[in-house]
Amino acid sequence: MRIVMIGSGYVGLVSGACLADFGHHVTCVDKSEAKIEALKAGKSPIYEPGLEALVAANAAAGRLDFTLDLASAVAEADVVFIAVGTPSRRGDGHADLSYVYAAAREIAASVIGFTVIVTKSTVPVGTGDEVERIFREEFPDKDVAVVSNPEFLREGAAISDFKRPDRIVVGAEDPRAMDAMREVYRPLYLNEAPLFFCERRTSELIKYAANAFLAMKITFINEIADLCETIGADVQKVAKGIGMDKRIGDKFLHAGPGYGGSCFPKDTLALVKTAQDYDSPVRLIETTVAINDNRKRAMGRKVIAACDGSVRGKKIAILGLTFKPNTDDMRDAPSIAIIQALQDAGASVHAFDPEGMDAAKPMLGDVTYGKDPYEIADGADAVVLVTEWDAFRALDFRKLKATMAGDVVVDLRNVYNAAELAKNGFRYTAIGKAQKG
């Protein structure tokens, strides 16, 4: 099939490269000339394990190409995916759909013959209806079917998620569109990927409901972690104990500094706003959003408490900046609020992240960056683990202690062993555990 992917960001590039790897011919379209030229040169604009090699291999095989010319690409396409950004709109928190609708209008002006238009972007319920209205009212002669096909990709594991999905949700009513989508995903049939068809509005809501539920699960275990610290319980053991119940499961029960990234913050907020618009509020999700926002800055206060109540004039070393490992994504990362809280309290912040420092620099002022954990810990009063990159899991604690001026380690991901830290002379603070001493 000839497939066009409008938008060469995270979702568009991963989806396009994987579909090309399945054997389809895929053209990725973007308005950024710099991005398209970089992709043609074999350089990925984002960090995702395995993505750059996948892009290069399929480009070399002639199955994947990149262009600024939307019209020419769309004119030859069987299926056109819209994979543009839907950030939170400034001022009210609604999803900004201007990029989606602009793409729809450009596509509508260019399609020739029957074409399936697929919203891959995360969009509120009713967006597909509006895209269809654009075609029916502004381009009534065009033969198209508008479909919802939300993505369920985890940053850091996106290629695996696309090729071995839990489910593929398709919101479509047109039989021709259903057949086209079956053909798009036919290469996955050997993996028995469940292709789930439903109404378009239902498909749009499935994406938001899934992300909201996972965000709520993270927030739940974070609140239980706070309770554990107060009553002297261990949140990791609580999580294991409840996670063994198959009705609950053990995924997303890792206590930490709060969720971040490109999906959960904006999608939970967009769901809240959509529900309010329909006068059907989702109180659990509203509370989840509020708790998560407060938690990030509260982690800064946790670090201050671990440093005997004051960080004024002290050097704090931050390990990890991105919202999770194996990505360079800094969007809504907990590190931003934590660092700001520490700086407001008078601390000097030094930081290291294996992939995220270039993205972090425009977002964080007055932070000193280093080349590795030991460089930023040199003379530090405290070391704070914020993002659990593998590179931080096997630190040489003797070397770390020797280079530091202080003895405080704050582990916001519960990666380290308390006894081992104590043996090496550290005062150790974790999440969801009674603090000793």
The whole-angstrom separation of Cα 85 and Cα 95 is: 9
Strand bridging mode 348-352 / 25-29: unpaired
What are the beta bridge partners of residue 13?
A: none
263 classed as catalytic: yes
Distances from the Cα of 200 to the Cα of 50, 119, 178, 348, angstroms: 32, 10, 12, 51
Half-sphere exposure in the Cβ direction for 103 (13 Å, CA): 28
Positive or negative, the CA dihedral 61, 67, 72, 77 is: positive
| Residue given tokens 């104990």 in the structure block | 241
Q: Which amino acid, 27?
A: T
Residue 65 DSSP SS3 = strand
The alpha carbons of the chain give a radius of gyration, in whole angstroms, of 24
User: Distance between CA atoms of 373 and 384, rounded to whole angstroms?
Assistant: 11
Taking a C-beta distance cutoff of 8 angstroms, is the pair 95, 88 a contact? yes
Q: Give the whole-angstrom CA distance, residue 358 versus residue 77.
A: 36
Catalytic residue among 18, 28, 228, 263: 263
Nearest CA to 373 among 390, 387, 353? 353
Measured in degrees and rounded to the nearest 5, phi and psi for residue 163 equal: -85, -25
What is the token pair recorded at 69?
């010319």
- Largest interatomic CA distance in the chain: 75
Composition of the chain by helix, strand, coil, percent to 5: 45, 15, 40
C-alpha torsion sign, points 157, 357, 383, 323: negative
Distances (CA, A) of 96 to 90, 100, 266: 8, 8, 10
Burial label, 390 (beta-carbon count in 10 A; 0-12, 13-18, 19+): exposed
- In this structure, the strands spanning 64-67 and 427-429 are unpaired
Which residues have a catalytic role annotated? Answer: 263
